[in-house]
Amino acid sequence: MPVLYVVGSVNLDLIAHLARMPAAGETVVAKSGALSPGGKGANQALAARRMGVPVALVAEVGDDSFQEPALRLLKTDGVDLSAVRTGAGSTGLALIWVSPEGENTIVVMPGANQTFLPTRFDPGPALAAGDAVLISMEVPENVVEAAFAWAVRHHAPVYLDPAPVPDRFSASLFRADVLMPNRGEAERLLGVELPDVRAAKWAAEKLVERGARVGVVKLGSEGLVYASRSGVFVRPARKAEVVDTTGAGDCFAGVLAAGLMSGLGLAEAVDRAMDAAAIAVTRPGAQPSFPYLHELDSKL
């Protein structure tokens, strides 16, 4: 069965739910808190795995006490971790504040995510027909570029979530099969403000002009816009009681990639990914909030 290779970061998330964000120099007491597995790569791998496709994570963690909790859910759900290397640094750590509206502020201490070497894709694991590669950008840029080239070399579809957008974003990365920034990331990639859906439609088409087969611009509570050679499409947001948006974009990316590689059409895969992200925001944390396929099926 084809495998989705996910290249990206692994973090342990330390999450505090706050009644209000602290001002500079102020100490506030959290309403609640949790330690839970996170990191954009790990999150995307888990979201895709919960859709029932075989997933292998290519990542780097530290030889420390954070490693086990950071990888726990991936192990439980059967993500192949044989390409997760234990490096010299500490496992990535993310400090996350969540506001009463469910919006998050994240500070990442990358640790081992930064010692990840591009040579791991030279030649890298062999890719078979039907395999696909999903990449996010919380790892060094030269790793992203090497993983992208590895996918292209094997004629594997490459799905790129450009989060976070680095200062130098190589033009070759626009040639992803699916390029899926959120609004802020699309603004950075294209160097313009995107205040409304109309501007986001323009942006999605621009991503296709720059080389993407499909350009998706995620607009949070305004839904999303995607463009391909067949046209540009707007999808309204699902209604949801938002508790915590942490990892919702990763959930979207993983579920979209899983849908496309298992043969769903683009519109169907986008709708499923939006449904999954709409469930994820109603639950706290990143990975613990991601739904399984049967939950989506029963909801529909």
Residues forming beta bridges with residue 217, ordered by sequence position: 225
Structure tokens, 47: 């979201």
Tell me whether residue 67 or residue 228 sits nearer to ligand RIB (CB atom).
Answer: 67
Contact 35, 68 (CB under 8 A): no
Question: Considering the rule CB under 6 A, would residue 218 count as an interface residue with ligand RIB?
Answer: no
Tell me whether residue 90 or residue 228 sits nearer to ligand RIB (CB atom).
Answer: 90
Count of residues that bind ligand RIB according to CB under 6 A: 16
Question: Considering the rule CB under 6 A, would residue 7 count as an interface residue with ligand RIB?
Answer: no
In angstroms, what is the minimal distance from the CB of 147 to ligand RIB? Answer: 17
Residues catalogued as catalytic: 250
CA 95, 284, 16, 20 torsion-angle sign: positive
What are the backbone dihedrals phi and psi of residue 35, each rounded to the nearest 5 degrees, phi first?
A: -105, 125
In angstroms, what is the minimal distance from the CB of 73 to ligand RIB? Answer: 12
Binding map of ligand RIB across residues 118-157, x = CB under 6 A, - = no contact: --------------------x-------------------
Candidates 3, 4, 5, 11; binder of ligand RIB (CB under 6 A) is 11
Question: Considering the rule CB under 6 A, would residue 87 count as an interface residue with ligand RIB?
Answer: no
In angstroms, what is the minimal distance from the CB of 297 to ligand RIB? Answer: 25
**Among candidate residues 183, 185, 184, 23, the one with its CA nearest the CA of residue 173:** 185
Question: Considering the rule CB under 6 A, would residue 246 count as an interface residue with ligand RIB?
Answer: yes
Cα(32)–Cα(34) distance, rounded to whole angstroms?
A: 7
SS3 101: coil
**Among candidate residues 107, 113, 119, the one with its CA nearest the CA of residue 138:** 113
Q: How many helical (H) and strand (E) elements, i.e. helices and strands, does the chain have?
A: 8, 13
Which value, to the nearest 10 degrees, does the dihedral of the CA atoms of residues 287, 293, 296, 298 take?
A: -130
Residue ranges in 259-288 that form contacts with ligand RIB under rule CB under 6 A: 286
Tell me whether residue 94 or residue 151 sits nearer to ligand RIB (CB atom).
Answer: 94
Question: Considering the rule CB under 6 A, would residue 38 count as an interface residue with ligand RIB?
Answer: yes
Tell me whether residue 125 or residue 140 sits nearer to ligand RIB (CB atom).
Answer: 140
What are the backbone dihedrals phi and psi of residue 59, each rounded to the nearest 5 degrees, phi first?
A: -160, 180
Candidates 3, 39, 185, 270; binder of ligand RIB (CB under 6 A) is 39
Cα(10)–Cα(139) distance, rounded to whole angstroms?
A: 9
Candidates 40, 49, 201, 206; binder of ligand RIB (CB under 6 A) is 40
Question: Considering the rule CB under 6 A, would residue 113 count as an interface residue with ligand RIB?
Answer: no
Residue with tokens 């640790």: 111
Residues forming beta bridges with residue 107, ordered by sequence position: 95
* Interface positions with ligand RIB (CB under 6 A): 9, 11, 13, 38-40, 43, 94, 106, 108, 138, 246-247, 249-250, 286
